[in-house]
Amino acid sequence: MTQVVPKNVMATIAPVLQSLAAKPSTTWVGIGTIFTLWAASLCIASMRSGFNRAYGIRATVQNFFVSRLVSMMLTVILIGVVIAVVLVFTFGRQVLEWVVQHTKIADSWVGTFQSLKWPITIAVLLVAFVLCYYFIPNAKMRFWTILPGATFTTAGWLVVSYAFALYMHYFGSGFSAYGTLAAS
């Protein structure tokens, strides 16, 4: 960590990190997770505000805790979908090839994975974005008004994910160079 964190900052946080490493506590992990979800749910709340403004809906007074709880649940769902899509697109084939080499699974699974990766990913992303566009704003939305935006967002997400996968495939070994560049 000393390569990326300035020395004066490291001197401040090193005792805290050493204390946590010496006496790990699940209490702090739980509290940290709740606060992280609470902070991340601000993104959903901001999206709600933006959608409401775009749709011309005046803000109504809602129960703060219920609104934040819904935002936290949507945040968990979105985080799960994002992580799954990124992992499948970026590392899915490599992981499956490794599993095939070290187990008795047939090689045909790699081909099946490659053929089903796109349709399943598109469907999962489209459903996730439709649900977000339906539940986030304080408006009653109709499916056909949500579908174009969700389709466009899904297509954009897939293009960016595929570009990142290509980058990782062709330039993934260059990460050691970044550490050298950052240290200089």
pLDDT score at 149: 93
128: how many CB neighbours lie within 10 A of its CB?
22
Place of tokens 């297509």: 155
Low-confidence ranges of the chain (pLDDT < 70): 1-5, 24-25, 59-61, 172-184
Task: Measure the CA–CA gap between 107 and 127, rounded to whole angstroms.
Answer: 31
pLDDT score at 173: 60
Give 89: exposed, middle or buried? Use CB within 10 Å, 0-12, 13-18, 19+: buried
- According to DSSP H, which parts of 7-142 are helical? 7-22, 26-54, 64-102, 108-135
Tokens of residue 135, six digits: 């539940």
CB 149 within 8 A of CB 133: yes
Task: Measure the CA–CA gap between 154 and 144, rounded to whole angstroms.
Answer: 15
Q: What is the DSSP code string of 61-74?
A: ---HHHHHHHHHHH
Give 27: exposed, middle or buried? Use CB within 10 Å, 0-12, 13-18, 19+: exposed
pTM: 0.62
Task: Measure the CA–CA gap between 87 and 93, rounded to whole angstroms.
Answer: 10
CB 39 within 8 A of CB 72: no
pLDDT score at 150: 93
* Measured CA angle at 74 (ends 72, 75), to 5 deg: 60
Residue 104: DSSP 8-state: S
pLDDT score at 181: 47
Place of tokens 């300035």: 6
